[in-house]
């Protein structure tokens, strides 16, 4: 029986399995459609604002519920045909059915909402989102491996909210040059008979297939994440892959024997070829290894870097500090335009790669320090107190993980007060939280430039620019 939405004096009890008719009015930060019934919120995957639908409740709480789209009664004008045939099952790219221009509009609204609601900043200066190539943009793909009921090796993405593997032979989001490897490598793994890892029994060897490509060079890496270094015939198979795919420059094994949902382990060994690809970014050459963090959307990362350079209007006499610098992706292009650049990074392997990339490009006015930013930055602020103002950075670039900056980082910035801060963020909520702390004290938010690094998903990157008051 379908419950009626209107005409009831008391909100009826709702229960799991119940069918409700509702309009979808909004999108949540996680990407689900948001409907309302009798003053209560229902989150509905695969629903678009403007849809009118029958929704079956699957998880019920007193004030909200999670539902499943049972029947689409009236389609939203923002709804489009997904590019991928399994988009309704695969949990990888959940916004394929939403018109791309509307995706951009929603992402800007989410940033504005977070900065106003969490950051307490009215009418924040948020620009329109920089649009991206909406398909085939990913330079890296990591696929869980499994086996079907008939014993066939599978690779794909998990169905949203589950660990049920949706088998794929191609993906419209990744660089199309990787698709042949995805389809054909599974067949080779099948023939080799290497057992795939079972998350329940913790038996088996192969956990993930990881592919990455240099968008500008076309060079590819293939990495198998395994619980065991001993894969009989791996050297022979690796050489066969190198021979079959001319753009494949290296095959590696990464060991991860832990009971964890983290993809990569701490040790990687090159089996054949070389352990890195070359990529050209912002006119510089970078070496990228199997587990190196590098933005998955090369072109959008460059576009955002250009905005940062234009906004900073560098004169060549600045001291720039790049916190969370990784392999120097932003540090090195900016170092070419300033007097001196310093990079801070907790991962020692990334620091070594950053130094190597600096040497490859002949950049000598840059140094890198290994350690947690929340430890290094306060020490630098104290050192500046004892020396001179010349050691205080003119510009600090922040690019923290999704959790945002540690309070010690914010306190150090408020203590040393660099003239300008550029805060690059992939999480509007933690960005807004940190902006509130900075702008309540010594800074003014002058501009926020969002960039769509992740089309077909709810995620958005942005750069916030702050000036000392």
Q: What is the pLDDT along the chain (469 residues), one digit of tens a residue?
A: 444 454 445 567 889 999 999 999 999 988 899 999 988 999 999 999 999 999 999 999 988 999 999 999 999 999 999 888 777 677 667 899 999 999 999 999 999 999 999 999 999 999 999 999 989 999 999 999 999 989 999 999 888 777 788 899 989 999 999 999 999 999 999 999 999 998 888 899 999 999 999 999 999 999 999 999 999 999 999 999 999 999 999 999 999 999 888 999 989 999 999 999 999 999 999 999 999 999 999 999 999 999 999 999 999 999 999 999 999 999 999 999 999 999 999 999 999 999 999 999 999 999 999 999 999 999 887 766 666 555 789 999 999 999 999 999 999 999 988 999 999 999 999 999 999 999 998 999 999 999 999 999 999 999 999 999 9
Residue 198: phi and psi, rounded to 5, are -105, 120
**Going from the N-terminus, what domains does the chain have, and what CATH number goes with each?**
2-74 (2.40.50.140), 104-133+297-468 (3.40.50.150), 140-281 (2.40.50.1070)
Cβ(252)–Cβ(243) below 8 Å = no
Residue 102 tokens read as 């509307």
Q: From CA 113, how far away is CA 137, in angstroms rounded?
A: 27
The CA distances from residue 349 to 133, 291, 294, 322, in Å, are 31, 10, 13, 17
Q: Which residue carries 């909406």 as its tokens?
A: 134
Positions annotated as catalytic residues are 426
């Amino acid at each position: 029986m379908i419950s009626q939405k209107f005409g009831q004096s008391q909100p009826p009890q709702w229960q799991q399995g119940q069918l409700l008719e509702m309009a979808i009015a909004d999108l949540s930060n996680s990407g689900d459609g948001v409907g309302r019934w009798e003053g209560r919120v229902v989150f509905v995957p695969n629903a678009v604002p403007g849809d009118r639908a029958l929704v079956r409740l699957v998880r019920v709480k007193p004030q909200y519920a999670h539902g499943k789209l049972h029947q689409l009664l009236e389609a939203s004008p923002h709804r489009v045909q997904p590019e991928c045939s399994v988009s309704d099952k695969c949990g990888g790219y959940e916004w394929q059915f939403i018109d791309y221009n509307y995706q951009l509009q929603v992402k800007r609204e989410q940033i504005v909402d977070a900065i106003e609601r969490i950051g307490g900043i009215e009418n924040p200066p948020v620009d329109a989102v920089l649009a991206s190539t909406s398909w085939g943009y990913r330079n890296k793909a990591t696929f869980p491996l499994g086996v079907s009921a008939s014993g066939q090796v599978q690779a794909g993405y998990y169905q949203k909210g589950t660990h049920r593997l949706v088998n794929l032979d191609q993906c419209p989001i990744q660089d199309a040059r990787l698709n042949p490897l995805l389809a054909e490598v599974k067949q080779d793994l099948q023939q080799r008979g290497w057992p795939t890892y079972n998350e329940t029994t913790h038996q088996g060897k192969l956990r993930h297939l990881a592919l990455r490509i240099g968008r500008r060079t076309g060079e590819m890496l293939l990495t198998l994440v395994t619980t065991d270094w001993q894969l009989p015939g791996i050297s022979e198979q690796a050489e066969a892959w190198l021979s079959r795919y001319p753009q494949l420059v290296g095959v590696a094994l990464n060991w991860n024997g832990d009971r964890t949902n983290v993809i990569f382990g701490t040790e990687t060994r090159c089996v054949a070829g070389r352990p890195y690809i070359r990529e050209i970014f912002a006119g510089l050459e970078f070496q990228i290894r199997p587990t190196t963090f590098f933005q998955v959307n090369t072109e959008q990362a460059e576009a955002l870097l250009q905005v940062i350079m234009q906004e900073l209007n560098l004169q060549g006499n600045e001291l720039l500090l790049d916190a969370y610098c990784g392999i120097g992706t932003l540090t090195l292009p900016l170092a070419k335009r300033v007097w001196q650049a310093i990079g801070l990074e907790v991962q020692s392997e990334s620091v070594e790669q950053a130094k190597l990339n600096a040497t490859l490009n002949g950049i000598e006015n840059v140094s890198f320090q290994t350690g947690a930013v929340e430890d290094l930055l306060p020490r630098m602020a104290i050192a500046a107190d004892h020396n001179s103002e010349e050691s205080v950075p003119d510009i600090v670039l922040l690019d923290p993980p999704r959790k945002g900056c540690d309070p010690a980082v914010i306190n150090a910035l408020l203590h040393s007060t660099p003239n300008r801060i550029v805060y690059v963020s992939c999480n509007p909520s933690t960005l807004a939280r940190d902006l509130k702390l900075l702008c309540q004290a010594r800074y003014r938010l002058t501009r926020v430039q969002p960039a769509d690094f992740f089309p077909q998903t709810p995620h958005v990157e942005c750069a916030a620019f702050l000036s000392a008051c």
